[in-house]
Amino acid sequence: MRERTTTALGLDISERGISVALVATGAQGPRTLAAAHAALPAGDPGLHQAVSGKVLSGLLAQLGRRARGGRMRAALAVSVDPLVMQLLDLPPEMPTNLGEFVAGELRQCVPLSGETLVSDFCGVGAGVPRRLLAVAARADRIQELVKACTASGIVVEAVEPSLPAYARAFLERHVRAAHDDGATIALLGPGTLTVGVWRRGTLDFVRTRRRPADADTPTLLCKWLAEEWRAVIRYYETREGGGPLPDCRVVLQDGSHRADTLAPVLAAEAGTRSITVVDACEPGGDSASPAVSMTAVGAALGLLGGSPSPLRVNLVPKTVTEARSRFRHVLLTANACIMAFLGVFLASQFLPRATGAMDRRIEQTRREGKLHTTRALLAEEKYLDQEISRLQQEVQPLRQALQGRSQTPWPVILHAIRQAAPADVSVTQWQCTEGRTLQVQGLASSCPAAETLVRNLEAEGLFHTVRLSSVQRRQDDDGGLEYRIDCLLKAEGGKSP
C-alpha cells in the first residue's frame, strides 16, 4: 500500500443495490467525505452491465468532483452468489506450491464446480500464518462487475467479499470506540448468509449458508437465523479453547427486510439480547446526510491501510490484470515509439537545417570568388615576386650611379646673381663645383655695397648660406674693393645639404 494515497473510493455492489463512499485518511483517522446509495431493480437477480454502469455514473455524479480524479483509487466489495469463503488449516508440512494447494481445496466446493473461478487467499493471524482465508467466485461475474466499473470511469484495484470489508470498517470504529477487537458479523444477502467471527482482531471463523427458500417471512427468517446462531455457539462450545462468542451483528443486505422490524423478532427467537440487527447502510450524522455503506467504507479502508483487520484478498480476474498490464505495456511502448519518432523527426528537421546553413555559408564563400581565384592569386603573387626581383636588379645599379647627383637650376641662379648685384657692384667670376658650393667674385665700390649683394643673394632664397668670405681693396687708381662670396646651394627639394 502506498501511504501517500490519502483518498480512496469504496464501492459496495450487491444484488439489491450499489453504495459508494469516498474515504480519506488523516491525522484523526479515516473519515467519509461523501457517500451515495442506489437500489438496483428488484426481481433482477443478475447485475446487468448496462444498468450497473448507469447507476454507477449517477452515484459518481452525486459524489461530486472529488470522486472524478484521474488518479482516484477504488476498491470493490461484492456479495455475489455463489461466493465461497473458507478458512483452511495448513498442514504441518507447508505445501511447496501454496497456490495449487488452495486452488485444489476450492475446486472441491460444490457451488463452484464446473465454473471458471477467480480466487485468492491470504494468511490469517499475526506471525507465521497457520490458517489461510481462501476466497473464490465465478470469474465471469467478477469480470462483469469490473467492466461495469471501468465503463463508468472507475479503475478498480481490488475486489474482495463484503464480509471482510464490512468487518474492516466496523472493527476500525469499534476498536476506537470500545477498545474491543472482537465481533461476530453475519451478512444476510438475498440468497446467502455469511457469518464471520473475529477474536482479538483476527478472523477465527467463517461460514456461508444458503437461505432456505421457505424463510420468506420475518418469523421464519429469524427462526432460521437463531438456529444458525446457536449452531455457531455449539461449535465454539465443542471447540477446544473456544470461549464465549463476541456479540453478534446481523447486517441486512437482502433489501426486503428492515432492521427495526426484524430485531425484536430475532431477539425473541434467539433468546438473547447480544444480537444486533442493522441495515447495510447506516444513516449519516444528520437527517440531510445520505446513508453510508460500512462495506464501501471498509473496502476503501483496505486501500488506505491501517485497519485492525489485515485481511487482504483480491479477486480481480487475471484477465483484467493482464489486460491492464497489456494496456500499460502498449501505452509505454506507444510512448516510447512516439518519443523515438519525435526524436527522429526533430533530428531530421534539424540536420537539414544545419546542413543548409553550412551549405549557404560555403556558397557565399564561393560567390565571393575565394575558392576558384585562389590559384590565380597564387600565380599572380609568384609573377609579382619575379617582377619585383627583376626590377630591383634593374633599379639597384641606377640608384648607385645617380646617388648624390642633383640638377642645379643654373639659369635661375645666374639670373638671381644678376638681379642681386647693385649698380656699384660687378660680378667678374662665379664658379660652382660638385653642384654644392658657389663662389662669386667681383668688384664693389665699397664694403656696404658688397654687403648689399650678400643680403640680396640671401633674399633670393636659392642658397642655404651666403657668406662674404673676403674683401680686399685694389691698389690701382679707382680704389675699389675685390670681394669673394661663398654660397652654399640648397639641395633639391629646398633642404639643407
Partner 1 sequence: MRADRLRPYSYAARHAFSAALILIGVLALYRWVLAPHVTYLHAMQRFGSVVDRVAEEHDRISDARAAKLRHWRSLREERARLEEGVFTAVGARAFARGLLPLVEEVGCLVVAADFAGPGRAGRSREADAPAGIEMMYVSLAALGQPDQVSALLQRLGEHRPRVWIDSCRGDVSDGQAGRVACTLTLTLCVREDSTDGNDRRESTTATVGSHSSPVP
Question: Which chain residues interact with partner 1 by CB under 8 A?
Answer: 322, 325-326, 329-330, 332-333, 336-337, 340-341, 344, 347-348, 351-352, 354-355, 358-359, 361-362, 365-366, 368, 370-371, 373-374, 377-378, 380-381, 384-385, 387-388, 391-392, 394-402, 405, 407-411, 414-415, 418, 426-435
480 neighbors 443 (Cβ within 8 angstroms):
yes
- Whichever of 205 and 430 has its CB closer to partner 1, that residue is 430
Q: Please, what is the minimum distance in Å from the beta carbon of residue 347 to partner 1?
A: 5
- Whichever of 80 and 139 has its CB closer to partner 1, that residue is 139
Task: Provide CB contacts within 8 A for 276, sequence distance 6+.
Answer: 247, 248, 249, 250, 263
Q: Please, what is the minimum distance in Å from the beta carbon of residue 37 to partner 1?
A: 38
| Sheet of 83-89, strand order | 83-89, 131-138, 117-124
- Whichever of 268 and 414 has its CB closer to partner 1, that residue is 414
Ranges of H-type helices in 111-258: 139-151, 162-178, 218-238
| Calpha distance 484→360 (Å, rounded) | 84
**Which residue in 7, 2, 4 sits closest to 301, CA to CA?**
7
Region at 261 (left for phi over 0; alpha for psi -120 to 50; beta for the rest): alpha
Q: Please, what is the minimum distance in Å from the beta carbon of residue 437 to partner 1?
A: 10
- Whichever of 94 and 332 has its CB closer to partner 1, that residue is 332
Q: Please, what is the minimum distance in Å from the beta carbon of residue 442 to partner 1?
A: 8
| Calpha distance 358→287 (Å, rounded) | 79
- Whichever of 39 and 342 has its CB closer to partner 1, that residue is 342
Q: Please, what is the minimum distance in Å from the beta carbon of residue 78 to partner 1?
A: 26
- Whichever of 237 and 385 has its CB closer to partner 1, that residue is 385
Q: Please, what is the minimum distance in Å from the beta carbon of residue 390 to partner 1?
A: 9
Pairing verdict, β 83-89 and 131-138: antiparallel
Q: Please, what is the minimum distance in Å from the beta carbon of residue 444 to partner 1?
A: 14
Rounded to whole angstroms, what are the CA distances from 418 to 421, 451, 486?
A: 5, 15, 16
- Whichever of 210 and 361 has its CB closer to partner 1, that residue is 361
Q: Please, what is the minimum distance in Å from the beta carbon of residue 441 to partner 1?
A: 9
- Whichever of 140 and 385 has its CB closer to partner 1, that residue is 385
Cis preceding linkage at 41, omega within 30: no
Q: Please, what is the minimum distance in Å from the beta carbon of residue 377 to partner 1?
A: 5
Rg (CA), the chain: 62
- Whichever of 36 and 457 has its CB closer to partner 1, that residue is 457
- Whichever of 220 and 323 has its CB closer to partner 1, that residue is 323
Residue 162, burial from CB neighbour count under 10 angstroms (0-12, 13-18, 19+): buried
| Calpha distance 278→284 (Å, rounded) | 14
Which H or E run includes 203? strand 202-210
Return the C-alpha cell found at 77.
466489495
137 neighbors 118 (Cβ within 8 angstroms):
yes
Q: Please, what is the minimum distance in Å from the beta carbon of residue 455 to partner 1?
A: 22
Rounded to whole angstroms, what are the CA distances from 189 to 13, 14, 169, 195?
A: 11, 8, 18, 11
Which H or E run includes 319? helix 318-367
